[in-house]
């Protein structure tokens, strides 16, 4: 059995959040200290921390940090709305952020309504954020267990973006499945899409796999079709930023293209995500707000300009994969397959509202 090393992207230290600065990897492993909710919001917006589950967890800690600031400065707790809104307005696509902030907000309202003393409120909010973090970690371990049975004893798995320990509380979703398979002794090799423009694959996934000794090859984003055609890919496993009620998936730009290629070549296409990534209030993928990031990210690579000054670039950060292209969605509570509205609603016992 391969032994997989533990890697956690954040830690709490006396009401401050320490986070690995993901902008500096793979060259430098540096921890940033986030002491105010404004610093937490900036870290999410600037992608110092990123990945749908992780920004949810960091958002929750940011909320607790913000309420702590309010209480320490003797301000009114109604100011918490500003904290909530600042954190909410950082990135628009991953629903885990809104899910976690709503949970923290509701917890705060309950504590206020019950007349709980301010210092206890702060303490309870930090505990709630820790709970969200640990729930996410355990969800990932379960996703790994449910998902690894879909991977062959020996084979090549293609993945996109970074869905590992760095994108979550630890372990990972899609990469967590690969980790679990490796830990269980499967002979797995990973094709890592470099994932332009932010290079989460080249910089982060390759770094995680290297750290753990899991065999992998970095490929350019446009290689996938050729590798599939040559019979070199046994399965595609990706994560998700938001899954709607009909099973459509928003994930890193390029995921949709991979799903079309996988379908064409009869290769199973799996999406791994915790249930906190589902947005049942939204019916279909087209209704998901898609983040657009600065053109400069496309016009540069590794800090170097690669296009003429006057060239315009389009930089959608995510795309939508229709449910019909997905073989199965793997969650911590089990599998959804075939992926369609009826099965998603059944899975969540959805009754509307
Ligand atoms: O822009 P990012 O790096 O936050 O995007 C991350 C992704 O698209 C991941 O695939 C997704 O969040 C799932 S992470 C478990």
Q: Say which residue the tokens 């928003």 belong to.
A: 250
Ranges under pLDDT 70 in the chain: 1-4, 353
The angle, 0 to 180 degrees and rounded to 10, between the axes of the packed helices 118-148 and 96-113 is 150
* Domain assignment of residue 353, yes or no: no
Task: Judge if 132 and 156 occupy the same domain.
Answer: no
136, 193, 241, 248: which one is catalytic?
241
Residue 4 belongs to a domain: no
Q: Which atom of ligand 1 is nearest to the CA of 52?
A: 12
Query: Do 187 and 297 reside in the same domain of the chain?
Result: yes
Q: What is the CATH number of the domain that holds 326?
A: 3.40.50.10470
Q: Give, using CA atoms, the residue closest to atom 8 of ligand 1.
A: 252
Statement to judge: residues 100 and 187 lie in one domain: no
**Backbone conformation region of residue 339, classed left if phi is above 0, alpha if psi is from -120 to 50, else beta:** beta
Residues 124 and 182 in one domain: no
Query: What tokens appear for 129 in the block?
Result: 């954020």
Residue 221 and residue 110 in one domain: no
pTM, entire model: 0.97
**Ligand 1 pocket: which of 48, 96, 159, 239 to mutate (most atoms within 8 A of CB):** 239
CA of 73 to the centre of ligand 1 (A): 35
Domain encompassing residue 122: 10-141
Q: Is residue 3 a part of any domain in this protein?
A: no
Length of the chain: 353
Answer whether residue 225 is part of any domain. yes
pLDDT at position 4 is 64
21 and 133 share one domain: yes
Run of H or E residues at 329: strand 328-331
Å from CA of 72 to ligand 1 middle: 34
Pocket test of ligand 1: the residue of 143, 161, 173, 326 to mutate, having most ligand atoms within 8 Å of its CB, is: 161
Number of domains in the chain: 2
- Give the pLDDT score at 253: 98
Q: Whose CA is nearest to atom 5 of ligand 1?
A: 51
At which of 100, 124, 141 does a domain end? Answer: 141
Q: Is 53 in the pocket of ligand 1 (CB under 6 A)?
A: yes
Q: Which of 52, 271, 289, 320 to mutate to test the pocket of ligand 1 (most atoms within 8 A of CB)?
A: 52
The shares of helix, strand and coil residues in the chain, as percent rounded to the nearest 5, are 45, 20, 35
Are the beta carbons of 76 and 116 closer than 8 angstroms? no
Q: Is any atom of ligand 1 closer than 6 Å to the C-beta of 136?
A: no
C-alpha dihedral (244, 278, 322, 202), degrees to nearest 10: 140
173 lines ligand 1 (CB under 6 A): yes
Whether 241 is a known active-site residue: answer yes
156 shares its domain with 134:
no
Same domain, 196 and 340: yes
**pLDDT tens for residues 12-52?**
999 999 999 999 999 999 999 999 999 999 999 999 999 99
Q: Quick one: 196 and 79 in the same domain?
A: no
- Whole-number pLDDT of residue 1: 44
Domain identity same for 49 and 171: no
Residue 195 maps to a domain? yes
Q: Is the CB of 161 under 6 A from ligand 1?
A: yes
Residues 339 and 199 grouped into a single domain? yes
Residue 18 lies in a domain: yes
Instruction: Say if ligand 1 is within 6 A of residue 239 CB.
Output: yes
Which of residues 113, 141, 169 is at a domain's end?
141
Among candidate residues 242, 218, 213, the one with its CA nearest the CA of residue 160: 218
5 is a domain residue? no
Q: Is 2 part of any domain?
A: no
Asked if residue 220 lies in contact with residue 248, where contact means CB atoms within 8 angstroms, the answer is no
For the stretch 49-88, pLDDT in tens is: 999 999 999 999 999 999 999 999 999 999 999 999 999 9
CATH number (domain holding residue 29):
1.20.120.420
pLDDT at 87 (0 to 100): 98
First to last CA, the chain: 46
């Amino acid at each position: 059995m391969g032994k997989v090393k533990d890697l956690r992207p954040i830690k709490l230290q006396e009401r401050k959040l320490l986070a690995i600065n993901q902008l500096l990897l793979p060259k430098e492993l540096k921890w940033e200290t986030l002491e105010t909710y404004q610093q937490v919001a900036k870290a999410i917006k600037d992608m110092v921390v990123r990945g749908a589950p992780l920004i949810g967890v960091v958002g929750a800690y940011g909320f607790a940090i913000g309420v702590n600031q309010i209480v320490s400065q003797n301000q009114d707790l109604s100011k918490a709305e500003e904290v909530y809104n600042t954190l909410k307005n950082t990135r628009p696509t991953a629903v885990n952020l809104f899910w976690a902030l709503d949970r923290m907000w509701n917890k705060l309202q309950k504590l206020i309504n019950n007349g709980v003393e301010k210092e206890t409120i702060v303490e309870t909010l930090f505990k709630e954020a820790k709970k969200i973090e640990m729930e996410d970690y355990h969800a990932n371990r379960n996703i790994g267990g449910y998902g690894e049975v879909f991977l062959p004893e020996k084979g090549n798995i293609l993945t996109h973006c970074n869905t590992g320990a760095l994108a979550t509380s630890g372990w990972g979703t899609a990469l967590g499945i690969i980790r679990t398979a490796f830990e269980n002794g499967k002979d797995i090799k990973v094709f890592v899409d470099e994932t332009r423009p932010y290079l989460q694959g080249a910089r982060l996934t390759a770094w995680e796999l290297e750290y753990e000794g899991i065999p992998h090859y970095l490929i350019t984003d446009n290689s996938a079709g050729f590798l599939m055609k040559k019979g070199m890919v046994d399965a595609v496993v990706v994560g998700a930023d938001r899954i709607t009620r009909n099973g459509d998936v928003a994930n890193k730009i390029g995921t949709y293209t991979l799903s079309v290629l996988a379908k064409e070549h009869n290769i199973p296409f799996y999406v791994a995500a915790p249930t906190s990534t589902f947005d049942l209030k939204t019916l279909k993928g087209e209704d998901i707000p898609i983040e657009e990031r600065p053109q400069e990210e496309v016009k540069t690579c590794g800090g170097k300009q690669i296009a003429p000054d006057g060239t315009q670039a389009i930089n959608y950060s995510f795309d939508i994969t229709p449910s019909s292209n997905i073989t199965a969605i793997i969650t911590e509570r089990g599998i959804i397959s075939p992926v369609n509205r009826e099965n998603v609603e059944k899975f969540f016992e959805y009754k509307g509202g």
